[in-house]
Structure 1
């Protein structure tokens, strides 16, 4: 632990105040609060049952997280960590606010439904029944459409937000999970395969974009709007992808099953490691990294900057940087060299308590994953 603290003292030199990282522990029904100056958990906030994803409210006032098994939304003060209020809501697994701030859309994985709420009042406007496991949500930039992956049916569903109707359903591949909007197309991770695919919402054409490894999960735009970081939970990797060309520049091998990613304003990566109960902080410019222990099965993560001139919504202010809502990249094929991240091997175990079906995946072998030739990251 002292090495991690020393490393992050170096990371944060010159900053007026330390950033705060909020981590949702799905297996412990809690939120870990981590101070990046020491890179240690300084507080743990109890929840009821099983939280998964966390977003910022449209006004920037609250962090909003879903305790899916407890059927609750929790509104958290980003600065103090105080729980401001709780609202009853049906199975909020993955949730996103529309770019115009009017809608809150919830994918209810266990209850096979997509719920559309008026964001300001949390009034349920539409409930759309789906066949099997609505998983992740993304919007068109004009807030007209919401797209939801259906993990159990290999499909993506397109819903017209103006009337709550399903316009079309398109097959994309086995176990689609994360989905984001990328310059007129949707980028989707296929947990049942190794690749990310693009889906053109106008023509419904599906094409392979790039590969990262087994358990391809979701992609996260960096604050600079020029880079995507895509996760593979089974092969335990994070791929650095050019947002303009989809070229895979580097593939970082990270034991522990990287899942959700957040960034600080300098572009450092903070990732939850689902199978080891830790979070990773990693600077892709220097290769420096550190880990901190949190609760079991950490999933959603959010970085709140604490410095002069940077607001909590810094990532949303950068062009093309909001996951799920703004345009990012066009697809072309790419390769990418494998890079080992110097993190200490840790005992690997799957979460000891039940989690959402979408997050059950085999734990990787303890230690560092074997290097893969660069050619293996190219599309078939």
Structure 2
């Protein structure tokens, strides 16, 4: 998940307005804190504590709150993005690892990775409606445009699970390659792209026909996705120690570029001007910066242990 909506919150709480204008934010999942990076000097300027194992966060659909999901403490913490003040906590949200709102804003979905299930809540009040078995290790999610289905990667059973949000039941499973991780719906709502972390490719699924139609070879440990913002291309992180990031054309379903990014690149964000791609290196305790004009690594910034999410203060939505 993007950290972009958390940036104003953290800046208002902890940094000056001037610093906020040029600050990147990195979530250090093992250290349970957040790093701040000056994007002009490419240096860490400070850290702030976060909740225990906050794997992901996201804004509410109306942008009135930022939700921080605490997997180990089993709660959601809501913050006011304008003042940085805590608004409320919702307890007994068990193991909220990955989060998502359906496009129609009716459903809030939480993947309980440790507990092998997907929980469906009403987005209006976060009341639990259904718990759906999802063995094994539900990880990332994607929705269709109609908000009829949510698709979940099951990392340890090597499947993609489709959940019918109308019936609130599992609709089907499809076997995929080893250790599926990230999942992304193409802008035309036709194909699901699945990062096959146990191999070296993106598996392309025609989800209506329930079949794999192509494998896009990228690099070892294909992991996660970030749309470039032009409605056609998507970045794909290949999370090995050697590491790389691929650029995939979602129309031709081919890899068209690749950048060397060592240290296990995971989550990514692109600068507003489109000139730099920032990626967390999970194994190297760094943030890696790729100059997209030069198509090579330009900066390597030390941060905390197991950095996960990275973002900037604001950027336009991408497709």
Runs of 5+ consecutive residues of structure 2 not aligned to the other structure:
1-17
Deviations 1:136-170 (A, max 9, x none): 11100111110001111111111111221111111
> 1:272 matched to which residue of 2?
280
How many angstroms apart in 1 are the aligned matches of 2:154 and 2:121? 20
Higher RCO structure, 1 or 2 (CA under 8 Å, sep 6+): 1
How many angstroms apart in 2 are the aligned matches of 1:84 and 1:107? 23
Does the alignment pair 1:153 with 2:157?
yes
RMSD value, Cα: 2.2
1:272 touches 1:301 (CA, 8 Å); kept in 2?
yes
1:191 paired residue among 189, 197, 205: 197
Deviations 1:274-310 (A, max 9, x none): 01111122231234622322211011223222xxxxx
- Where 1:156 maps in the other structure, the secondary structure is strand
Task: Pick the structure with more strand per residue.
Answer: 2
TM-aligned CA deviation for residue 82 of structure 1: 5.1
How many angstroms apart in 1 are the aligned matches of 2:50 and 2:19? 31
TM-aligned CA deviation for residue 270 of structure 1: 1.6
How many angstroms apart in 2 are the aligned matches of 1:158 and 1:35? 41
What does 1:1-380 correspond to in 2, within 5 Å?
A: 18-78=21-81, 83-88=86-91, 89-182=93-186, 183=188, 184-234=190-240, 235-267=242-274, 268-287=276-295, 289-305=298-314, 314-315=316-317, 318=318, 321=319
In structure 2, the CA distance between the partners of 1:83 and 1:271, relative to structure 1 (3 Å rule), is farther
> 1:342 matched to which residue of 2?
none
Deviations 1:60-110 (A, max 9, x none): 233333221221223345566555443322111111111122221111110
Which region of structure 1 is more displaced relative to structure 2, 73-82 or 222-231?
A: 73-82
How many angstroms apart in 1 are the aligned matches of 2:232 and 2:85? 34
How many angstroms apart in 2 are the aligned matches of 1:241 and 1:38? 30
TM-score, structure 1 length as denominator? 0.72
TM-aligned CA deviation for residue 249 of structure 1: 1.6
2:205 touches 2:214 (CA, 8 Å); kept in 1?
no
In structure 2, the CA distance between the partners of 1:149 and 1:257, relative to structure 1 (3 Å rule), is same
How many angstroms apart in 1 are the aligned matches of 2:36 and 2:80? 12
TM-aligned CA deviation for residue 22 of structure 1: 2.5
1:79 touches 1:304 (CA, 8 Å); kept in 2?
no
In structure 2, the CA distance between the partners of 1:64 and 1:281, relative to structure 1 (3 Å rule), is farther
- Where 1:105 maps in the other structure, the secondary structure is strand
Runs of 5+ consecutive residues of structure 1 not aligned to the other structure:
1-14, 306-311, 322-380
In structure 2, the CA distance between the partners of 1:76 and 1:300, relative to structure 1 (3 Å rule), is farther
How many angstroms apart in 2 are the aligned matches of 1:59 and 1:286? 38
2:21 touches 2:313 (CA, 8 Å); kept in 1?
no
In structure 2, the CA distance between the partners of 1:280 and 1:145, relative to structure 1 (3 Å rule), is same
In structure 2, the CA distance between the partners of 1:23 and 1:77, relative to structure 1 (3 Å rule), is farther
> 2:6 matched to which residue of 1?
none
TM-aligned CA deviation for residue 217 of structure 1: 0.6
Which region of structure 1 is more displaced relative to structure 2, 243-252 or 191-200?
A: 243-252
Which region of structure 1 is more displaced relative to structure 2, 272-281 or 56-65?
A: 56-65
